Amino acid sequence: MKGDYQDLVDEISALLGAPATLENRDFRLIAFGAHDSDDDLAMDPVRTRSILTRQSTADVRSWFEGFGIARATGPVRIPATPDAGVFRGRICLPVRYRGIVQGYVWLLDQEPGKPGPEPAALDAAMEVAQRIGVLLAEEAKAGADLSREFLAVLTAGPGWQQDMAVTALRAALGPDGDGLHAAVCVAPWPGEAPASVPGAAAVCVVPRRGGGEPGGVGPGAAAGPAPAGDPALAVLLRLRSTDALAPALAAAARLLPRAAGATATGGRTAGGKGGAGKGGGVGATATAVARAVTAGVADPVRGLVDLPAAWEQAVAAARAAAAQPRFGPVAQWSEIGPYRLLATLVADPVDDPAARTLLTPANRELARTAEVFLDCAGQAGRAAAALGIHRQTLYYRLARVEQLTGLDLDEGEDRLLLHMALKASRLA
């Protein structure tokens, strides 16, 4: 399929006498024509980034969509805008199938004062773009079928329903179904699943289960997990070996800004047309959203029978990353320590009466004090230093914690109960 796209892009390049670039409707690079010009302006930052990173930024996408390319049925000319990194004008050929945009072919326009492509050549290039549209639509349909089967596996109840869903997904994947995979969860995920994720066997959007409101009353959490009902992106990634999780972690990291970009491209920025404005434009919005997006990567599984369990691992890791910034925006199931157990418990949370009062907003400082003290294995000196308070202040706060909870912090089981309640509150 990729070779077909490259041949068609080369055909358009030959028709119009300019190197062409093909991107899908998510602005991910599919193929590009050879470039042998000495003109430095022909490789402006936008085109260079698209080729090197195989995708365009949210700013670039919003900028070009501001010229109506998603609605156009014929070539669209876009002027040069050096402030946006576009040093040469573009000609965009929308790639459509049955009226639905599937992608875009991009060409560098001639410099001002020089004649552009003849209308007959543009018409011929649009015919080639239509052939590309057929291929992209067929590929999208195959991906939609896989997405449906993948979603069924992740959401089916245990027993015969899940067995049937796994059998259907294995049939859809063919020989790849028996290979080694890793499940990845990115949450929250706004909008539809991306048309393609490098190395992915299947992609779908899954409704989130559980989770509390952002910025909940957990001890010291700047932002809690995603709200209940928020969708998450599920990705089934092919692996070469059980020790080769690096591609899965890298793919998850690449998807985080795409989650932010999917939200940010919903409108124009303060900069004018598209998203190339300065200041509080799309870039600033995307950065703010990206801080709230986390990802989790499960342990590798071979075949598909254990895929539902792997998905639960990926969800738990993503929730742990949201609860504990030290895990980073991408957390690996095997690296989240006690949260492996806590995430399972919080799937069916227990409102423990001992910790209920301590976990109210009015007692946030006391809850944080207790958590740091327990994190420091009950060592008062370490805890006071970590909190930046005098040891006597620590003792006073711990006495208040005991009064509110009815627990004795000299007793191991009472410490265990409180520690679990405090940690679980971050995931709730």
Q: What angle do CA 71, 81, 274 make, to 5 degrees?
A: 40
Residue 192: per-residue pLDDT: 81
Whole-number CA gyration radius for the chain: 26
Is-contact 367 422, C-beta < 8 A?
yes
Q: How far apart are CA 300 and CA 200, in angstroms?
A: 14
Residue 224: per-residue pLDDT: 38
DSSP 89-123: -EEEEEEEETTEEEEEEEEEPPPTTS----HHHHH
Q: Nearest 5°: phi and psi at 39?
A: -75, 115
Q: How far apart are CA 115 and CA 9, in angstroms?
A: 22
Residue 343: per-residue pLDDT: 76
Residue 278: per-residue pLDDT: 31
Residue 428: per-residue pLDDT: 62
Q: How far apart are CA 165 and CA 204, in angstroms?
A: 14
Amino acid at 414: D
What is the DSSP secondary structure assignment for residue 241, as one 8-state letter?
A: S
CA distance to 58, 220, 374, 397, per residue, from 369 (Å): 41, 9, 9, 7
Helices (H), ranges, 156-304: 160-173, 246-264, 282-290
**Computed from CA positions of residues 84, 72, 261, 255, in that sequence, does the dihedral angle turn out positive or negative?**
negative
Residues of the chain with pLDDT below 70 are: 1-3, 34-57, 84-86, 111-114, 140-144, 208-229, 242-243, 260-291, 345-350, 428
Q: How far apart are CA 220 and CA 100, in angstroms?
A: 47
Q: Strand, coil or helix: what is 199?
A: coil
Residue 366: per-residue pLDDT: 94
Residue 251: per-residue pLDDT: 82
Contacts of 192 (CB under 8 A, 6+ apart): 205
Residue 426: per-residue pLDDT: 76
CA 91 to chain centre: 30
207 forms beta bridges with 231
**Computed from CA positions of residues 64, 100, 205, 141, in that sequence, does the dihedral angle turn out positive or negative?**
negative
Q: How far apart are CA 54 and CA 52, in angstroms?
A: 6
Residue 280: per-residue pLDDT: 33
Helix pair angle (391-405, 364-375), 10° resolution: 110
Neighbours of 89 (CB within 10 A): 17
What is the DSSP secondary structure assignment for residue 41, as one 8-state letter?
A: G
